[in-house]
Amino acid sequence: MSIECLRILQPIPLHRHNSHSFSFFTSPNVFLRRPKSSISRLMFSDDHSKWAPLLHSVRPATSENQSSVEVGTDAFEWALQDFYALRKDVETSLQRVDEIRASAGLEKLEADFSDLENKSADSLLWDDPSNAQKILLALTEVKDKLKQLSEFKSQVEEAETIVKLTEELDSIDSGLLEEASEIIKYLNKSLDKFELTQLLSGPYDKEGAVITISAGAGGTDAQDWADMLLRMYFRWGEKQKYKTKIVEKSMGEEAGIKSATIELEGNFAYGYISGEKGTHRIVRQSPFNSKGLRQTSFAGVEVMPLLPEESLNVEIPEEDLEISTSRAGGKGGQNVNKIESAVRMLHIPTGVTVRCTEERSQLANRIKALSRLKAKLLVIAEEQRASEIKQIRGDTVKAEWGQQIRNYVFHPYKLVKDVRTSFETSDIASVMDGELDLFIKAYLKHKYTMSMETE
């Protein structure tokens, strides 16, 4: 329909039909005089010059509705900009999904799945229980990966369908656009996480994690800092949907904690969080100093995999262990305060120490402490490329000056900076609330790059 034809129509102000959709006209005569998709082509063309004259050709009959025309035009233009931005995001996500599916080796995964499925259906499978477990575990992993890749495709196609539907309509439905925007936002987070898992290749990366936090140099401030880190990692675990629990906590004399241990149960927990191992430094105005002076404090973070007992194929001679007991204290009834149920276990050759207090009996704590010690020694052995436990060196995190992996500055400015990767952010509040993904991603990429350079 030509512009001249439109000008002979009774001019009407641009307005909203309802709370969710915008349109140029309300007169049914307008829509009877043109093909169904003509205004759609004008509205959603990348060339704004195609539809701009149409807007300018609509003039109000009286001055009373001048303001409604301006408000409606502005609202429509904002909605149109949102649509263009969304369409671009969908196109980018489509390309990203295709690249990830190709790099993941989709065809090979499907072939592996078919092969493993045939093996799992073999009647002689359980003649070798150990091999059967490996086959079933591999089948589950391949199946989960195929499911993820399929969900990526279906999600981006759903968002693409909404975009195409909007282009065919005579109005912009902000409800539909918001739905598509949420799909793309969630999809991008899932894609980021999937890409990170591709960087994890360690033997224990798929396991859960045990995080131990200890106050370092800095007195009461350091103990308070350790408590802040405890909350930060606990919040991170919750946001990742891991089963998160504090299994041990030793309170400070005035404030904060001397030490604490968190267990995270979930896929790839250790792979993601293992890079947090090291010394964390805080600079702030001390809340425990009457003069409000700036104080620097330290806390040490150690991370080990949460390994099942059957995978801890490690023998530690009894003479290499120094075991001491104490009263656990805290919650748990009178038993923990009267009986020495807490266990501290020291591996004499390396100086590696673990402590376990969460169980009510000394025997149970001793078993759990030995499991943690084995896991810790296995990780150190892997890091130091040692073939046997006796070949490894001690690996204690020293929570003091010059050893930090990350600085948290609260005063005189706000900044969190990782010393290893140089990644930084001024949004310190979000970091302390468990938003660690950007730091984790930066470290994993740094670690991967370093390993490639070494090879």
CA 339 remoteness from chain centre: 41
Contacts of residue 216, defined as CB under 8 A and 6 or more positions apart, other chains included, come to: 222, 226, 279, 297, 298, 299, 300, 398, 399, 400
For position 31, what pLDDT does the model report?
A: 32
Q: Is 382 exposed, middle or buried (0-12, 13-18, 19+ CB in 10 A)?
A: middle
Q: 81-87 — which CB contacts under 8 Å span 24+ positions? A: 82/174, 82/177, 83/44, 83/163, 83/166, 83/172, 83/177, 84/46, 86/163, 86/177, 86/180, 86/181, 86/184, 87/163
Specify the domain boundaries for CATH 3.30.160.20 within the chain: 311-389
**pTM of the full structure:** 0.65
Give Dmax over CA atoms of the chain in angstroms.
101
Would you call 92 helix, strand, or coil by DSSP? helix
Half-sphere exposure of 347 (CA within 13 A, CB side): 27
Contacts of residue 454, defined as CB under 8 A and 6 or more positions apart, other chains included, come to: none
d(CA 89, CA 155): 13
218 sits in the region (left: phi over 0; alpha: psi -120 to 50; else beta) called left
CATH 3.30.70.1660 for domain 206-306+429-439, yes or no, is yes
Would you call 91 helix, strand, or coil by DSSP? helix
Nearest to 156 by CA among 81, 96, 110, 109: 96
For position 89, what pLDDT does the model report?
A: 92
Identity (one letter) of the amino acid at 340?
E
311-389: CATH, from 3.30.160.20, 3.50.50.60, 3.30.2320.50, 3.20.20.70: 3.30.160.20
Specify the domain boundaries for CATH 3.30.70.1660 within the chain: 206-306+429-439
Count the Cβ atoms, other than its own, within 10 Å of residue 366: 17
pLDDT tens string, the chain, 455 residues long: the values are 444 443 333 333 333 334 444 443 333 333 333 333 333 343 444 444 434 433 343 344 444 455 454 545 666 676 778 888 889 999 999 999 998 888 888 888 899 999 999 988 888 888 888 888 888 888 988 998 899 999 999 999 999 998 888 888 767 777 888 899 999 999 998 998 888 888 887 788 888 999 999 999 888 999 999 999 999 999 999 999 999 999 888 898 888 999 999 999 998 899 999 999 999 999 999 888 877 788 999 999 999 888 776 666 677 888 888 888 877 665 554 444 456 688 888 888 888 888 888 787 888 888 888 888 888 888 777 766 544 444 444 455 666 667 789 999 998 899 999 999 999 999 999 999 999 999 999 999 888 888 777 66
Contacts of residue 125, defined as CB under 8 A and 6 or more positions apart, other chains included, come to: 119, 132, 135
Would you call 343 helix, strand, or coil by DSSP? strand
For position 5, what pLDDT does the model report?
A: 41
